[in-house]
Amino acid sequence: MEIEFIRALRKRLPKSDQLAVGPGDDAAILQRDGSVVTCDLLCEGTHFSLANDSPLRIGRKALAVNLSDLAAMAAEPVAAFLAVALPRPDTEIAEPLLEGMLPLAQQFELAIAGGDTNVWDGPLVVSITLIGRCPHQPLLRSGAQPGDQLLVTGTFGGSRLGKQFDFSPRVNEALQLQGDRLLHAGIDCSDGLALDASRLGEESGCGVAIDLSAVPISEAAREMASQDPKRSPLEHALGDGEDFELLLAVPPNAATELLATQPLKTTLTRIGSFIEKSGLWREETEKLVPLPTTGYEH
Amino acid sequence: MEIEFIRALRKRLPKSDQLAVGPGDDAAILQRDGSVVTCDLLCEGTHFSLANDSPLRIGRKALAVNLSDLAAMAAEPVAAFLAVALPRPDTEIAEPLLEGMLPLAQQFELAIAGGDTNVWDGPLVVSITLIGRCPHQPLLRSGAQPGDQLLVTGTFGGSRLGKQFDFSPRVNEALQLQGDRLLHAGIDCSDGLALDASRLGEESGCGVAIDLSAVPISEAAREMASQDPKRSPLEHALGDGEDFELLLAVPPNAATELLATQPLKTTLTRIGSFIEKSGLWREETEKLVPLPTTGYEH
C-alpha cells in the first residue's frame, strides 16, 4: 500500500522500550529476549488466486514469505502462528493450506504453534506471524556504509511464472554469512529489486548505485519479455518483485572474497555499491544517472 | 468454526520441542524463552460490522480479545503485531483502527511493534498476534481437579448490546490471583459460559457441575430477554459468548477465602464445581442433570 500512508501510521505508534528494533525493518526484535517477529498477511486477488493457485502452494507461500523476512534479519525460525479466514463453503481448503506449510516447517525445524480459524463469506485470507531468534548479530537494513558492495543471491524477474510460490527462503544463506560477520546490512527482495535496493540505502542513510549490466536476470524474466516486448528482461528483473532473494551490503574486502569463493549453494552476484549521495543511481564510470525505483508498493 | 474440524487440523501438526504449551490452550508457550503467544483474526460480518461499528471500536476489540487470551494464561502483554486487509477504497479506516488500540496498549504497557498493511477488494480483516510473558506459573486449561470450585469474574450474557466491544480484558485480575498461587486452571469466556466451562473441564480430564441459580446474569442479558422472550436471561448468560470474563478452577479453601475477601476490582462469583464424572452438568443436591454446552462454535 501507499508507502507515505504506512509511514504516517507508523508515526502514530508510541515509542516503546519493549522493542530493540521497531517497525520499519524486515521484522521487529523484542528487547526482553531478542525474539525476532514478523507478520505477513496474504489475500485472494493480491497475493494469490484460488482459481489458478492450489491451496497447497498458497499455504507454502504464506509461510515462505515470512521465512524470507526472518532470513533478511539473519534469524532462525522458531514458531509460526497461523490465522485464516476461510471462504464459505470451501472450508476444506484449510487442510491443504496447512499441508503446504509442513515441508517448510520441517525443513527449518519450526513449530506451527497455533492460530485462529474463521469461516466467513469473504475471500480467503491467510495471516502468519513467525517468531525467530538471531544466533548472531541481527542483520538490519540500516548498517550499510558508502563503499560497501551490493551483493545479491539468485536471479531476478518474472516470479509470476512460478517463483513467487516456489522460491527458497534464504534463511540458511543469511545465517551462514552473518555467522562469518561478513554483512553490514540486508533486506529481502519482495517488492522489486530497484525499490528494495533503494530502501536498503535509505534506511542506512546512503545511496545505492546499480550496475545494470551485472543484474542477474532470470530465465522467467526473459520468457515474459519474449511474450510481451513492452518490458525488457532487465525491467522485469528490476521491478517485478516477489523474488525473495537477499540484497546484502558487504564491505569491499569481504565482497571480493565472497565473489571469488562463492561459499553458498546459490550464486552471489555483485550488482552495485553504496555511495554517499542518497537516492538510487545507475553506476557509470563518469557520472551517476538516476534510476527509477520500480517495484510494487503495497 | 466446527470444532471437530479444528481438532482434525491440529492432529496434522507435528509435535515440536519448540513448544512448552502447544495448540489447544488459550495461547501457546515457547520452550526457549517462555514467550506466550496468541493470535486472533477478526473479520467483517462475523466479529463486527463496519455499517454499525466504528473502526475505533473494532480496533479496540481486535486488541482486547487477544489481551483476554493472555489474561487466561496469566501472562502480561509485551508486544502486538497487526496485520490488516483494508477494503478499497476505505483505506483511511486504518488510522482509527490503530487509534482504537492505543489506549489499551498504553494501559497494559505493550508495544504495537509492527505488522502488515494490505489493501484489497474484500471486506475488512484485522489479525493480531500478541506476545506476552508469565511472571508466575502459566495458567493452563488443564489443571482443574475434582473438588475445585468454578469461580467467574463479572457478569454474563447480552454482550451484543455493547460489552463485546467495550469489555475489560482481565489481565491484571489473572496476574494478581496467579501471583498468589490461588488458581488451578483458567479460560476466558469468548464462546459462551456453558461451552467454555465444558472445555475447561474437558482439558482437565474432569467434569463441571454448574449451579444455575448462581450464574451472575448481566443487565444486558435481562434487557435482551425482555425484548424477545424466546430466550431467558439465564440462557443468554450461558450461551451468548463474548463476555471475555475469566472462568477459574480454584481449590476449595482458596475459593472460600476469595469469595469472602473479594480482592479484585471485579466481583468473583462461585457458579459451580469440578467433578470426576466428565461432561457438563447442573449441580443439584441429589443428582446430576446434563446441561447443553450452548455457545458459539467458530
Residue A1 in this model has a pLDDT that exceeds 60:
no
Chain A residues with beta carbon closer than 8 angstroms to that of B129: 37, 39, 81, 83, 129
Q: Count Cβ atoms below 10 Å from residue A15 Cβ, excluding itself.
A: 8
* Domains of chain B with bracketed CATH: 11-133 (3.30.1330.10), 149-290 (3.90.650.10)
pLDDT in tens, B207-225: 999 999 999 999 999 999 9
Which amino acid is present at B226? S
The tens digit of pLDDT for each residue in B157-181 reads 999 999 999 999 999 999 999 999 8
State whether the Cα torsion A105-A106-A111-A117 is positive or negative. positive
pLDDT at A102 over 50: yes
The CA distance from B40 to the nearest CA of chain A, in Å, is: 6
Q: What is the ipTM of this complex?
A: 0.89
Mean pLDDT of A267-294: 86
Look at residue B298 and tell me whether its pLDDT is greater than 60.
no
What pLDDT is recorded for position A15?
81
User: What pLDDT sits at residue B6?
Assistant: 64
Who has greater pLDDT, B14 or B98?
B98
Buried b (16+ CB within 10 A) or exposed e, A215-240: bbbbebbbebbeeeeebebbbbbbbb
Range B91-105 average pLDDT: 92
Is A26's pLDDT higher than 90? no
What are the pLDDT digits (tens) for A84-97? 999 998 888 999 99
Cell for B163?
A: 460489552
> d(Cα A114, Cα B204) in Å, to the nearest integer?
19
Pull the grid cell for residue B141: 486449561
* Local confidence band at B3 (pLDDT 50, 70, 90 cut-offs): low
CB contact under 8 A, A131 and B131: yes
Q: What's the gap in Å between the CA of A110 and the closest CA on chain B?
A: 7
Yes or no: say if B295 and B191 are a contact pair by the CB < 8 Å rule.
yes
Please determine, for residue B33, whether its predicted confidence score (pLDDT) is greater than 90.
Answer: no
H or E, element range at B251:
none
Q: Which residue has the higher pLDDT, A48 or B1?
A: A48
With contact defined as beta carbons under 8 Å apart, do B250 and B268 qualify?
A: no
Q: Which of A18, A41, A118 sits opposite B118 (nearest CB)?
A: A41
Question: Between the CA of residue B2 and those of A240, B5, B171, B194, B210, what are the distances in Å?
Answer: 40, 6, 28, 17, 25
- The pLDDT value recorded for residue B1 is 44
Q: Considering CB atoms only, which of B16, B85, B115 is closest to A39?
A: B115
Residues of chain B positioned with their CB less than 8 A from the CB of A94:
5, 9
Q: Is pLDDT of A298 > 70?
A: no
pTM, two decimal places: 0.92
- Would the pLDDT of B277 be above 50? yes
What pLDDT was estimated at residue B263?
97
